[in-house]
Chains A and B, each alone.
Chain A
Amino acid sequence: MPSLKDIKTQINSVGSTKKITSAMKMVAASKLRRSQEKAEAARPYSSRLEEMLSSLASSAVSGEGIIKLLTGTGNDQNYIVVPVSADRGLCGGFNSSINRETFKLVKSLEGDGKKVQLIPVGKKSRDFFNRVMKDQILDTFVDLNVSSSGYESALNISNKLQELYFGGKFDKCILVFNKFKSAISQEVTEQQLIPLDVSNSENDEEKENSSNAIYDYEPDEETILKDLLPKNVSTQIFKVLLESDAGEQGARMAAMDNATRNAGEMIDSLTLKYNRTRQAFITKELIEIISGAESI
């Protein structure tokens, strides 16, 4: 049976853990609001860029150079998977679900006979894939701090990807990230980044097609498309980074809320145990005194 002192120490240590987790929850909550605002502010740009692109995409014929970002290389052999995780832990299943889904995706692609390489973004996925598939890692991006450095960080990744793509290093690029659904729920999402996937908005495309015919292009469609496509890649990455950042804060807030509640429960049960033990000691001592007095 633990002594009274042991229980007291335990209660104290759980109490200080509780203080830390509740402070982390507050921090995450305030950061969440900021990242959420950022993610929402970035939405108009990416959605309008997508609109423009889908109205242009229909006019694209297969071609060389930058147009390949849209039409693809014609091959389907080499894949790059980009898992986007957080740099820090203590946010529930946020990082592990990314790593798990990415791992599954890689295995299933390999099962189909494809060659897969990885560019992990964020320390947590870098560390994970460094352990399990070290030889497949092409490059890593960590310490992005998307909420402070903004668009630049997305540009770096996008430039690297395009350099690899035009160097013929891969045919398809898939992003795996946590989509921000609400403050307490994130959804692991796979998005094909290169070549651009315009097929998911079929209805929109039809609509755009009909209006497309009347647009004038200046200088001309191809030049615009050539400017637009690389920009779209970095914008998509930027959007994903912001979503993931907001999701991370949300996940951390939920995880820390849980931890705080659990610590509270633990303190309650420990206090109960402490009081019972104390009572048992008192009773024991009383019995000893009484039986001592009787024997005289």
Chain B
Amino acid sequence: MATISFDLVSPENLVFNDNVGSIIVPGKDGDIGVLPGHSKVMSSLRPGRVMVYSEDNNLVKSFFVSAGFVEINPEKCILLAESVNEMNDLDKTTIENEIRNLESENSDSVNYKLYVARKKIEALESTFYKKFT
């Protein structure tokens, strides 16, 4: 099976850069599965999980991105994320505390943070992508 080069970039650094089997990214209009040779697509992202699979369809890494863009062409997939967390680093209780703190305030920026935090919980709880066949 062929591989596709995948770059995950945040404003602060290059988070991931390797050749992988396939990737699932949370596109604005729905998740996009990217396999080698994918047609050219440019999409913005919603907060959600980015799943990276190796050539033999094992999950290599999964990330949470809050927003961003993805550019896909047959050889390469470039994901520009506003902020990136590795899924393993997310801790449910800390996020729930954060949500509780944020709920007491009310402004545009807080609402956005709240929205992202809730999406993080959602992503943590979802088991939807655990297996890839």
Measuring CB to CB, which residues of chain A are less than 8 angstroms from any residue of chain B? 38, 41-42, 44-46, 48-49, 51-52, 55-56, 150-151, 154, 211, 214-219, 223-224, 227-228, 231, 235, 238
Contact = CB atoms under 8 A, between A and B. Distances in A.
B71 A218 contact: no
A41 B13 contact: yes
A216 B72 CA distance: 9
B116 interface: no
Contacts of B13: 41-42
A215 B80 contact: no
Give the size range of B's interface with the partner. 20 to 34
Given A38-B12, A45-B10, A231 B40 contact: no
| Chain B binding surface, main DSSP class | strand
Contacts of A227: 44, 67, 69
B80 A216 contact: no
| Chain A binding surface, main DSSP class | helix
A235 B39 CA distance: 28
Contact of A238 (B11, B32, B42): B11
A215 B9 CA distance: 21
Given A218-B27, A219-B28, A224 B42 contact: yes
Given A44-B14, A214-B39, A215-B42, 12 more contacts: A42-B12, A48-B78, A52-B80, A150-B12, A218-B27, A218-B28, A218-B32, A218-B41, A218-B43, A224-B43, A224-B69, A227-B69
B70 to A, nearest CB: 9
Interface of B: 7, 9-14, 27-29, 32, 39-44, 67, 69, 71, 78, 80, 82
Contacts of B80: 45, 48-49, 52
Nearest to A43: B14
Given A41-B12, A42-B13, A219 B41 contact: no
B93 to A, nearest CB: 25
